[in-house]
Amino acid sequence: MTGSSDFARAWGWTMADDDHDLLPSYALDAVDDTDRHAVERLLAADPDARRELDEYREVVAAFTVDERPPTSLRDQVLTRVAADARHSTETASATGAAPSPRPVTRTSHRPVAHPLRRRLAALGMAAAVVVAVAIPTTIAIQSQQTQRELQAEADTIAQMLADPDAQVLTAEMDGGGEVSALVSAGHVMLAASGMADPGDGHDYQLWAISGDTISSAGLIHPVDGSATALLEAPAGTTLAVTLEPAGGSDQPTSEPLVAVET
Amino acid sequence: MRVATARTSGPDALDAALIACATGTADTFAPVYDALSPAAYGTALAVLRDPDHAAEVTQDVMVELWQTAARFDPARGSARTWVVTLARRRAVDRVRSEQARRHRDQRDMDQSGATAQYDVVVEHVEQRLEAAGVRRCLGSLTQTQRDAVLRAYYGDRTYREVAEDLGASLPTIKSRIRDGLIRLRTCLGVDHG
């Protein structure tokens, strides 16, 4: 690490401390856009802050008093949902993909693709890896909430890509497919391509293994055989993918298809 | 290490139903709508206090819930907390953009307007709190903490606006809201440790 990195980290830490006190106000949506952005940067970088936010959100949810909405609303919502589901299926078919429910996945967002592509290209990575992070063009992000979350992720990825010490790892998956991982300062950006359809009743699940602890890092829903995920993982964490019963498992129930040591 | 976070209660059937929507059809969503739309509507109504506006927000929130089901992570919180979070964010955004519009339309708007608005809704607040799960825990807050938290929750005020309303410093209000929520967290037994 250079002196300037140490300075940036020290500065970031001071700011993060201050922003940390804003987590309860953020959970109440009692922050303006400037504060909101600062807190989201903290959340992108600090899993403990995310855990704390989850707790405050549960507190805020305890203020809720259920009220029966107008009965006409049910049909309106289900009609929109049916139209949305049909549109997604048609779009997937039109592009020659297996019908998939909706192409909205956690990190698939077009603006993310470009810097990552450039960086991977600059690193001289194989073309296959670049393909791995190609993002479907059919994604329609509609809510501000989603945009903000994606912005926080994009900021994290931008920081990772700016890190000269970032590493790129690749590994083959059993059963077909390849996983590449961009590893930088406690974050890992995973990109998988060529994944087989998990089949009815199954999902791919991502795991983070540290010592004896195996934690679920969520399900992977490939679109056109490709998927991306951004997660926090301290150096030395091993990431693995298994095939699990639909909805995932608390702990892995099958042999890893691939494992990446960060 | 913590990649995924733990939550107080284990994932339940409702969480599983929402997860199923990530790969399901519109039919998969119907029971999720039935179970969670009252939480979305109640949340929106608490913020907007207008049944028509609350219904519009609820409609958008429930469609968003369907569209983002793949991002729901039951390790981080329940489906109910997730939908409440979505609903509150959307309702607050709507109030703020409405406020911004009114500010533009009415440049000499009375600065005390917001405080008056809060006072007007005190009765509404008390009625709603009677039924809220958090009610039994509000007694664990100091009067100043309670006032700051309720202004932020029901007055749709940012902590900066709460500080202005009460003539208190920003760090003071930030601390009251933080300490208030920490006490509520303890009282409600929320611990994702």
- The answer to whether A51 contacts B5, with C-beta atoms less than 8 Å apart, is yes
Q: What are the tens digits of pLDDT across the range A146-172?
A: 555 656 666 666 666 656 666 777 778
- Which chain A residues are Cβ-neighbours of B188 within 8 angstroms? 58-59, 62
**Diameter over CA atoms, chain A:** 62
Q: What is the pLDDT of residue A94?
A: 44
Residue type, A82: A
Q: Which candidate in A64, A109, A219, A220 is best for mutational testing of the B interface (most B CBs within 10 A)?
A: A64
- The answer to whether A78 contacts B1, with C-beta atoms less than 8 Å apart, is no
Contacts of A96 (CB under 8 A, 6+ apart): none
Q: What is the pLDDT of residue A96?
A: 41
Confidence of residue A122 (pLDDT cuts 50, 70, 90): very low
Q: Rounded to two decimals, what is the model's pTM? A: 0.58
- Which chain B residues are Cβ-neighbours of A246 within 8 angstroms? 20, 23
CB-based contact B140:B107 (threshold 8 Å): no
Q: What is the pLDDT of residue A98?
A: 39
Q: What's the mean pLDDT in A202-230?
A: 82
Residue type, B137: C
Q: What's the mean pLDDT in B69-79?
A: 86
Q: What's the mean pLDDT in A205-210?
A: 86
Q: What are the tens digits of pLDDT across the range A166-186?
A: 677 777 888 788 887 777 777
Contacts of A27 (CB under 8 A, 6+ apart): A53, A56, A57, A59, A60, B181
**B36 to A67, A108, B74: CA distances (angstroms):** 10, 27, 15
Please tell me if residue A68 touches chain B, with a CB cutoff of 8 Å.
Answer: yes
DSSP helix/strand/coil, A35: helix
Q: What is the pLDDT of residue B164?
A: 93
- The answer to whether B70 contacts A74, with C-beta atoms less than 8 Å apart, is no
Q: What is the pLDDT of residue A95?
A: 42
For residues B59-88, b (16+ Cβ closer than 10 Å) or e, as one string? bbbbbbbbbbbbbbbbbbbbbbbbbbbbbb
- The answer to whether A48 contacts B84, with C-beta atoms less than 8 Å apart, is no
- Which chain A residues are Cβ-neighbours of B10 within 8 angstroms? none
DSSP helix/strand/coil, B41: helix
* Mean of per-residue pLDDT scores for chain A: 70
Counting DSSP H helices and E strands in chain A, the numbers are 8, 8
β-partners of residue A238 are: A209, A261
Q: Say which residue, A61 or A178, is predicted with more confidence.
A: A61
Q: Does residue A111 carry a pLDDT above 50?
A: no
Please tell me if residue A105 touches chain B, with a CB cutoff of 8 Å.
Answer: yes
Please report the residues numbered 222 through 261 in chain A whose beta carbons come closer than 8 angstroms to any beta carbon of chain B: 231-234, 237, 246-248
**Diameter over CA atoms, chain B:** 53
Give the one of A21, A84, A221 whose C-beta lies nearest to B67's C-beta: A84
Please tell me if residue A8 touches chain B, with a CB cutoff of 8 Å.
Answer: no
Q: Tell me what percent of the residues of chain B surpass a pLDDT of 90.
A: 45
**In CATH, what number does B115-188 get?**
1.10.10.10
Which H or E element spans position A210? strand A202-210
Q: Does residue A120 carry a pLDDT above 60?
A: no
**B55 to B52, B87, B96: CA distances (angstroms):** 5, 11, 18
Q: What is the pLDDT of residue B106?
A: 65
Q: What's the mean pLDDT in B141-165?
A: 90
Q: What is the pLDDT of residue B43?
A: 94
Cα separation, A159 vs A154, in Å, equals 9
**B179 to A9, A57, B7, B135, B161: CA distances (angstroms):** 28, 15, 21, 17, 18
For residue B185, the chain A residue with the least C-alpha distance is A59
- Which chain A residues are Cβ-neighbours of B25 within 8 angstroms? 82, 85, 101
**A106 to A210, A223, B22, B116: CA distances (angstroms):** 23, 12, 12, 42
Q: What is the pLDDT of residue B91?
A: 94
Tokens of B143: 């009067």
Contacts of B173 (CB under 8 A, 6+ apart): B148, B159, B160, B162, B163, B166
Confidence of residue A73 (pLDDT cuts 50, 70, 90): very high
CA–CA min distance A74, chain B (Å) = 7
- The answer to whether A85 contacts B26, with C-beta atoms less than 8 Å apart, is yes
Whose structure tokens read 């107008």? Answer: A70
Q: Say which residue, A199 or A117, is predicted with more confidence.
A: A199
- The answer to whether A247 contacts B16, with C-beta atoms less than 8 Å apart, is yes
* Domains in chain B: boundaries: 11-102, 115-188
Cα separation, A251 vs A138, in Å, equals 33
β-partners of residue A230 are: A189
Eight-state DSSP code of residue A186: T
Q: What are the tens digits of pLDDT across the range B17-57?
A: 888 888 777 888 998 999 999 999 999 998 898 899 999 99
| CATH class entry, domain B11-102 | mainly alpha
- Which chain B residues are Cβ-neighbours of A85 within 8 angstroms? 25-26
Give the one of A29, A61, A77 whose C-beta lies nearest to B89's C-beta: A29
Q: What's the mean pLDDT in A216-235?
A: 79
- The answer to whether A25 contacts B188, with C-beta atoms less than 8 Å apart, is no
Q: Does residue A127 carry a pLDDT above 50?
A: no
Q: Say which residue, A54 or A228, is predicted with more confidence.
A: A54
Q: What are the tens digits of pLDDT across the range A18-46?
A: 788 999 999 999 998 889 888 988 888 88
Q: Does residue A233 carry a pLDDT above 50?
A: yes
Q: Say which residue, A90 or B129, is predicted with more confidence.
A: B129
Q: What's the mean pLDDT in A100-113?
A: 34
